[in-house]
Amino acid sequence: EDLISLDLETLTWIAPKPQAYSTKLRWDQNRAVNELNKNYITKECVDWLKKYLDYGKSTLQRTERPSVSLLQRSPSSPVVCHATGFYPNRLVMFWRRDDQQLHEHVDHGEVLPNHDGTFQVSVGLNLTSVPPEDWPRYECVVQLKGIEDILVPLDPALIRTNWGGDGGVQSNIIIGSVVLLLAAAVGVFVGVFVLKRRNDSAKRRLAGSDTSSADPGEQNPAPEAQPLNTEVN
């Protein structure tokens, strides 16, 4: 409830509560200010609101299409329909069978914000009581104002897992890590081998130089001693 409000017809103030009555009497005496208040409320304020709405229209009224995928942690886990990157957050997502929305054996998650201002949400479907031959009857439905409905059939080929199938995100990360480790190990081995070869070559050159310096006689042999002539004439 307002404490005090302006009657735009009479340009007098209305005080619904007794605490504002003294303020009403004081403000009623200044009709020129009340005229300015009327002009601000009916013209200036409206014009500014329209300008701000135009400025923010690209953000406030934009629509971002979600990316939808099916996820499953293990063969016994529910299949989760996950939508992310959508805007605004008023997205509707559900599972249906034979075009009928399911209300049992489903788990609706909360709409969560992403770091870029978009949103994400998930809906899980428990398939423990659903035989594989009935899977084609199920599909995930995503509805967002401004775009056509997105339909994702319950197809094993479309499910991203952590335990097999298409390899899944976690498996790809593990494989990538193993490849990087192997590449690093090969690089270290090659580096050690090359360094060892260089050290061995340097040692051989140094050993040859030391041997030549330590035995100069072999390089400059002394002249042979001549036999003495002992014959007497």
Based on the domain organization, do 87 and 147 belong to the same domain? yes
Structural tokens at position 128: 């423990």
How far is Cα 112 from Cα 213, in angstroms, rounded to an integer? 80
Burial class (CB in 10 A: 0-12, 13-18, 19+), 60: exposed
Report the chain's mean pLDDT, rounded to a whole number. Answer: 83
Is residue 72 exposed (0-12), middle (13-18) or buried (19+ Cβ within 10 Å)? buried
DSSP β-ladder status, 67-72 and 79-86: antiparallel
* In a domain? residue 228: no
**How many domains is the chain built from?**
3
Q: How many Å apart are CA 55 and CA 114, to the nearest integer?
A: 23
Neighbours of 108 (CB within 10 A): 12
Whether 177 is covered by a domain: the verdict is yes
| 182 burial type by CB count under 10 A (0-12 exposed, 13-18 middle, 19+ buried) | exposed
Q: What is the mean pLDDT of residues 211-224?
A: 53
Same domain, 139 and 124: yes
pLDDT of 216 reads: 52
What are the tens digits of pLDDT across the range 158-175? 999 977 554 444 444 455
Same structural domain for residues 111 and 154? yes
Residues 83 and 73 in one domain: yes
One domain, residues 154 and 141: yes
Helices and strands, counts by H and E, the chain = 5, 12
Nearest to 16 by CA among 6, 28, 26: 6
Mean pLDDT of the region 8-12: 94
- State the CATH number of the domain containing residue 97: 2.60.40.10
Decide: 42 and 6 in contact? Cβ < 8 Å: no
Give me the domain span that covers residue 14: 5-60
Q: Which of 69, 155, 75, 48 is nearest to 120 (CA)?
A: 69
* pLDDT score recorded for residue 176: 57
- Number of C-beta neighbours around residue 104 at 10 A: 6
Q: Are residues 157 and 175 in the same domain?
A: no
What local confidence, expressed as pLDDT, does residue 179 receive? 61
Beta strands in the chain, from DSSP E residues, in sequence order: 5-7, 12-14, 67-72, 79-86, 92-97, 100-101, 106-108, 112-113, 119-125, 138-143, 150-153, 159-161
Whole-prediction pTM: 0.53
Identify whether residues 87 and 158 lie together within a single domain.
Answer: yes
Strand bridging mode 159-161 / 67-72: parallel
Instruction: Please tell me which residue, 61 or 105, carries the higher pLDDT value.
Output: 105
The mean pLDDT value for 7-30 works out to 94
Which pLDDT value is given to residue 71? 97
User: Which residue has 């005090």 as its token pair?
Assistant: 4
